[in-house]
A = this chain, B = another copy of it.
Amino acid sequence: MAETARHPEPRYGTRPTMKDVAARAGVGLKTVSRVVNGEPGVTPDTERRVQEAIEALGFRRNDSARVLRKGRTASIGLVLEDLADPFYGPLSRAVEEVARDHGALLINGSSAEDPEREQELVLALCARRVDGLIVIPAGEDHRYLEPEIKAGVATVFVDRPAGLIEADTVLSDSFGGAREGVAHLLAHGHRRIGFIGDRPHIHTAVERLRGYHAAMADAGIDVRESWVSQGATDPGRVAAAAEAMLAGPEPVTALFSGNNRVTVTVVRVLARREDHIALVGFDDIELADLLGVTVVSQDPAAVGRTAAEHLFRRLEGSGRPPARVTLPTRLVARGSGELPPA
């Protein structure tokens, strides 16, 4: 990469700047800036010369410098639990599409359900001066975000409310959805219904359990302790919980599973059995139609879209106080939830 006298090319690893382009095109720095940004006030001939210099040098505007000057990055951050979870892929994609419509890039990160990692990620995004932030909270205390929000970072919480601060929030109706799902089982004659959910510090897990209790209470049924299991959603724990509820002299005749990961494992457990245990799951899962799994479905893309639209509305300066939006769920009957008690 030696430099020749004729056309001084930048060295490997060094990028041409507007100044280089200006020198090569024989114009002033600001003229290059005008061309690059499509601003008016440049004659076609000058513009052509500048464009040629840009091509020849392989110039690409340095957005860090631009951001430093302009104050806005045209990017937003999304912190979620795990991008590999089939719930978050479509959610993230929906956010990305809205961001794209607003000319913004999306940076997303997985908290792995770890509050420290959530905070680390959020603050890294703030250091990069994202214009806005969508957070699926892992932690329960978000006061660390107060200075950021004060400083103008629009923030929307999704799936679970923020902890100890006021902020826009978009939720699915976990309580109502679970209540409806359990009521569905009750309507099909079940009385002993088991609930297998996520760890009790997770907001949605609590809400869904509340929905379960509400439906059971509506039916005048005393819930036995052994019918409820909360904890990690790994297959081992969930399978054990299901087996336990299905054993003994008075086993449950139906199960309600608290999220997609639980449902997958429960379906596997039930598939190994001779009897026909009823099942309703929270969250839809791929191919549930073929497996005949009745679910309470929430639409991850709609959740993401709604959150992103809120965010951009706020960025555009709606001065409204923080609002909470709850999106409805939908019961999808496919067979497993309509089985009668054994």
Spell out A's residues near B (CB within 8 Å): 1, 3, 10, 12-15, 57-58, 60-65, 67-68, 71, 73, 75, 82-86, 88-90, 92-94, 96, 105-110, 123-129, 146-148, 150-152, 264, 267-268, 271, 285-287, 289-291, 301, 319
Report chain B residues within 8 Å CB of A286. Answer: 86, 264, 285-287
- The answer to whether A13 and B151 have CB atoms under 8 Å apart is yes
Report chain B residues within 8 Å CB of A88. Answer: 89
- The answer to whether B96 and A89 have CB atoms under 8 Å apart is no
- The answer to whether A83 and B73 have CB atoms under 8 Å apart is no
A60 to B285, CA, bound (A): 41
Report chain B residues within 8 Å CB of A290. Answer: 267-268, 271, 291
- The answer to whether B108 and A108 have CB atoms under 8 Å apart is yes
Distance to closest chain B CB from A224 (angstroms): 30
- The answer to whether B96 and A109 have CB atoms under 8 Å apart is yes
**Known A-B contacts A58-B147, A83-B92; A63 and B127 likewise in contact (beta carbons under 8 Å):** yes
Distance to closest chain B CB from A102 (angstroms): 14
- The answer to whether A84 and B73 have CB atoms under 8 Å apart is no
Report chain B residues within 8 Å CB of A61. Answer: 127
**Known A-B contacts A151-B14, A287-B264; A83 and B96 likewise in contact (beta carbons under 8 Å):** yes
Report chain B residues within 8 Å CB of A90. Answer: 84
A109 to B103, CA, bound (A): 13
Q: Which of B58, B73, B96, B125 contacts A110 (CB 8 A)?
A: B96
A126 to B61, CA, bound (A): 9
A127 to B58, CA, bound (A): 12
- The answer to whether A60 and B319 have CB atoms under 8 Å apart is no
- The answer to whether A84 and B301 have CB atoms under 8 Å apart is yes
Give me 7 A-to-B residue pairs in the complex whose CB atoms sit less than 8 angstroms apart, sorted by A's number.
A13-B151, A58-B147, A61-B127, A64-B64, A68-B68, A105-B124, A271-B290
Known: A64-B67, A84-B92, A268-B290; 7 extra A-B contacts, CB below 8 A, are A62-B68, A62-B127, A64-B128, A82-B93, A83-B92, A83-B96, A106-B108
